[in-house]
Amino acid sequence: MFDIRKIQEQIISGAIKSESNAQIAQDIVNGEFEDNPTWVKNTMKRLEENFDSQRVKKIRMNCQCGYAMNEKLVFIKELMASSANMEEFANNERAKAAGLFYHDSELYLQFLFCPCPMLAEVDKLDTNTWCQCTTGYSKVLFEKAFGCEVDVELLKSVKMGDEICLMKILPSGTIHFE
């Protein structure tokens, strides 16, 4: 059976090991007697206690699961193929329906709800650390689609008390629309 918690434990552990070692990863991820909401909060707290904020963000960005990445990549490529520039790309009705929009020459992605299944039972997060995995997911997705480096900045999070989840997508190279 599909166990999202086990998958998350493995992904987080691997990301921590790449920045540290197996023992620290085990110490941070271990929460065998914690329910999922408690485990999410405590794992992020343990992560923040062991690493500085830049490394925490890097670790969490490397935790993205890649769920449905290929389908989303196809979707973005289709939008790009029917667009001449970023503004046209983001103003497409399908793009808007998917949460993309263009404002003041910048691309944004928003969700009206938290898309993370691990946070379904979490009322509120104390920090945005958990949410950095979605910035990592978006970074990988848009880099593949745009063919250049992309930075993603988390601006708002439903689980932090905001009305939406909002990210700014910042490509740093030339994007070729067809």
- 137 neighbors 64 (Cβ within 8 angstroms): yes
Residues 91 and 55 in one domain: no
Q: Of 18, 39, 61, which residue constitutes the final position of a domain? A: 61
Mean pLDDT, the chain, whole residue set: 94
Residues 36 and 88 in one domain: no
For 108-125, how does the pLDDT look when each residue is reduced to its tens digit (9 = 90+)? 999 999 989 899 999 999
Q: Of 43, 61, 79, which residue constitutes the final position of a domain? A: 61
Count CB neighbours of 99 within 10 A.
16
pTM above 0.85, yes or no: yes
Q: Of 32, 61, 90, which residue constitutes the final position of a domain? A: 61
Which one, of 168, 149, 148, lies nearest residue 106 by Cα? 168
Question: What pLDDT is recorded for position 1?
Answer: 52
Residues 29 and 104 in one domain: no
For 36-70, how does the pLDDT look when each residue is reduced to its tens digit (9 = 90+)? 999 999 999 999 999 999 999 999 999 987 788 99
Tell me the mean pLDDT in the region 72-99.
96
Establish if 178 belongs to a structural domain.
Answer: no
Residues 121 and 163 in one domain: yes
Establish if 176 belongs to a structural domain.
Answer: no
**Full residue range of the structural domain in which residue 24 is found:** 4-61
- 109 neighbors 131 (Cβ within 8 angstroms): no
Percent of the chain with pLDDT over 90: 90
